[in-house]
Structure 1
Amino acid sequence: MHRRAIVPARVNIIGEHVDNHGGLSLPFATSDYLIMDAIQRGEGYSGDELVIRLWKEAGGWPADLTVDSGIPIGMGMSSSAALCVAIVLCARGVNEGIETCKEARRIERVVLENNCGLLDQIAMIFSKEGHAVLVDFSDLSMEQIPLPASWIFKLVDSGISRALSSTEYGTMNTYSKKHVADEVQRVLDSRGAPAEYLGQLLNQSHSSLISLGVSLTEIDRMVDDLQRTDGVLGARMMGGGFGGMILVLVEDEGVLPSIPVVVSSDSARLEEVL
């Protein structure tokens, strides 16, 4: 038996640090992928030690495990979630939708000690090319939202990586309730918004992340410089915080010409390899 899981990265347009608190988010899957192969063997396991630990936690059978990832590690594009989703898909041999998401979250929490929510996994399992997924974490309901052609995104590498288990992801502070309430409203306001207005919402979101205490001075300087760049409509730090990618909304593809446009993709898929 040989199974292969192909799992996309995700970009979260807006709705950061709300999935553990019943909020709303608007992510989409991208054309960066993690590919995992699991080939059954008689006994034992081969592969990266961490991958084997995750595989065993998911109930995986004796196998040769290989992972080839084009998703940057520690850069806010959910490389760890993609790995866990791939492991669950290969171990179970079926995409069970939200149950796959929950199991991927469980093994990430147990093995990687990351107190993650379900944003990343849902984006990877339920995305549709050309659409974002509006997720309501109060009841896990979802709606496919077409991505307007005027929403042109680029990702700027801050050069600062982060370890999920070394940061206080998912914790609350005195500002958290205000952040969640305001961020949820920004998600609602973003639906079908003109690009110029969406840019303002991204800028507001980053300011709120600063107040939430999950940004860094170096990141804030980079975001501020980008927000002041001609042709940039808005920018904010993306992901759990303390480093990673900066999401930038631009007027056209010619802005920040050395950086490619983010391309949306379909959801994760599972293959039986003959």
Structure 2
Amino acid sequence: MSDTIPLVERTIAAFRRAYGHDPAILAFAPGRVNLIGDHTDYNDGFALPCALQFGTVVAASPLEEPRIIARAADLDMAEDDVRIDAPIETAAQGEWRNHVRGIAAGLPAFGLPVRGAKLAFSGDVPQGNGLSSSASLGVALGLALTAVAGAQAPDKHVLARVAQWSEHHYVGCACGLLDQIASAFGEQDSALLLDCRSLSAKPVAFAADAVIVIVPSGVARGLVDSAYNERRAQCRQAAEYFGVGSLRDLDLAMLEAGEAGCDAAVFRRARHVVTENARTRSAAEAMARGDLAELGQAMRASHASLRDDFEVSVPAVDALVDSLNAAIGEDGGARMTGGGFGGCVVAVVAAGRLPAVDRALADHWLGTGRPAQAHCLGIPSAGARLLQG
């Protein structure tokens, strides 16, 4: 809990300021970084995320009335107050209130309890950088609200599905389950090889001499307003064309055999998913062996595929990835991570190469003429949990 102490204290103080007493429940859910395996989750494929030390803390106490009152500590204590004994309406698109309302509406829809509650929440996941601040908030809200209603150990798979449902029906993003599963099931000092069809998450030990470097590109991203939903629709179109239930069931031979009659853009989207699934499994095996060279090769190939076949990178991100890979050499690799169109770059690098990475980043920002973005080290961390209650 040591990494979360400042965040916990800030959230408790906000709750006390709002309601005049201490909370009964404290729930935490982390953000995540995806080391490899992007845009595979909604295609029933594979991904290799790990939960991070950043996250969201929700403080909560029961309320006798059938209402949920929520205060957003990071937004000047902005308030929402919604009844839960009637259909819960969405707020305006882009409003933080939709996260609270979506979880409150989704819990009973998935068989989990909800009751009146007072909430305050705060987070330290960098927003707009692809580190899943949204999933962190959704999972933490679900964990807190079920605890208030008397369920201290809800099924985390169900919690993840509630958070995804909230994104689809209230927030407005047709996301897969990768972010929510990673936030719910993260393990200390490990990544997770996630099978997005079975939702099994197998821990993969992170090499002791390797470091995760997370670098914001300086290009803000917004999945709801981006072409994310369009890419998802193209993947469905590809699956229908190739006659498979999802692109998970398509192999490279089947893909290449059907290229001639397939729309060129749709074919490229499918090729990314098919090859990314193979890369992700290879990367997990390399990580388990401590083979940073092979892991790095897979990460570089992943970025090229996301750039050229899935077309979700941007020139500023490509240049940043190139700078990092030049500094890393054979001791790891770098790639864009997340939905794309900006956000973060992730690198896995031997600890001894960190000085070279620092120099390369300083030179990169100087060469672009844009403000330098502060990078950080990601710590593979434990998943969602109750801290109190």
TM-score by length of 2: 0.66
Alignment of 1:1-274 (within 5 A): 2-43=24-65, 44=67, 45-47=69-71, 48-49=79-80, 50=97, 51-58=99-106, 60-93=114-147, 94-169=153-228, 170-172=232-234, 173-193=266-286, 194-211=291-308, 212-229=310-327, 233-252=332-351, 253-257=354-358, 259-273=375-389
Distance 2:311 2:328 in 1: 28
Distance 1:217 1:85 in 2: 33
Distance 1:184 1:190 in 2: 10
- Structure with the bigger percentage of helix: 2
Question: Are 1:58 and 1:91, in contact at CA under 8 Å, matched by a contact in 2?
Answer: no
Distance 2:106 2:386 in 1: 16
Structure 1 unmatched ranges of 5 or more = none
Query: Cα offset for 1:250?
Result: 2.1
SS in 2 for 1:215: coil
Query: Cα offset for 1:111?
Result: 1.0
Which stretch shows the higher mean deviation, 2-11 or 79-88? 2-11
Query: Cα offset for 1:14?
Result: 0.8
Distance 1:13 1:230 in 2: 16
Distance 2:30 2:269 in 1: 29
Question: Are 2:61 and 2:117, in contact at CA under 8 Å, matched by a contact in 1?
Answer: yes
Query: Cα offset for 1:219?
Result: 1.3
Question: Are 2:216 and 2:375, in contact at CA under 8 Å, matched by a contact in 1?
Answer: no
Distance 1:242 1:14 in 2: 16
SS in 2 for 1:174: helix
Question: Are 1:52 and 1:65, in contact at CA under 8 Å, matched by a contact in 2?
Answer: no
> What do residues 107-129 of structure 1 show as CA deviations (whole Å, max 9, x unaligned)?
11111111111111111111211
AA matched with 1:154: V
Closer/same/farther in 2, CA of residues 230 and 81 from structure 1, 3 Å limit: closer
Distance 1:140 1:168 in 2: 25
Q: Which portions of structure 1, spanning 4 or more consecutive aligned residues, are displaced by more than 6 angstroms?
A: none
> What do residues 70-122 of structure 1 show as CA deviations (whole Å, max 9, x unaligned)?
10111100000111111111122233121111111111111111111111111
Query: Cα offset for 1:55?
Result: 4.4
Question: Are 2:164 and 2:176, in contact at CA under 8 Å, matched by a contact in 1?
Answer: yes
Closer/same/farther in 2, CA of residues 55 and 121 from structure 1, 3 Å limit: closer
Distance 1:205 1:9 in 2: 22
Identity %: 32
> What do residues 178-227 of structure 1 show as CA deviations (whole Å, max 9, x unaligned)?
11110111112113421112111111101111120111122112212222
Distance 1:178 1:108 in 2: 27
> What do residues 5-42 of structure 1 show as CA deviations (whole Å, max 9, x unaligned)?
11111111111110000111111111112111122234
Q: Which of structures 1 and 2 has the larger relative contact order (alpha carbons within 8 angstroms, sep 6+)?
A: 1
Which stretch shows the higher mean deviation, 69-78 or 245-254? 245-254
AA matched with 2:382: D
SS in 2 for 1:184: helix
Question: Are 1:10 and 1:30, in contact at CA under 8 Å, matched by a contact in 2?
Answer: yes
Query: Cα offset for 1:259?
Result: 4.2
Question: Are 2:103 and 2:163, in contact at CA under 8 Å, matched by a contact in 1?
Answer: no
Distance 2:304 2:35 in 1: 15
AA matched with 2:298: L
Q: Alignment RMSD, CA only?
A: 2.0
SS in 1 for 2:357: coil
SS in 2 for 1:88: helix
Q: Which one has a bigger Cα radius of gyration?
A: 2
The count of aligned residue pairs is 273
AA matched with 1:207: A
Question: Are 2:142 and 2:159, in contact at CA under 8 Å, matched by a contact in 1?
Answer: yes
Query: Cα offset for 1:230?
Result: 5.1
TM-score by length of 1: 0.92
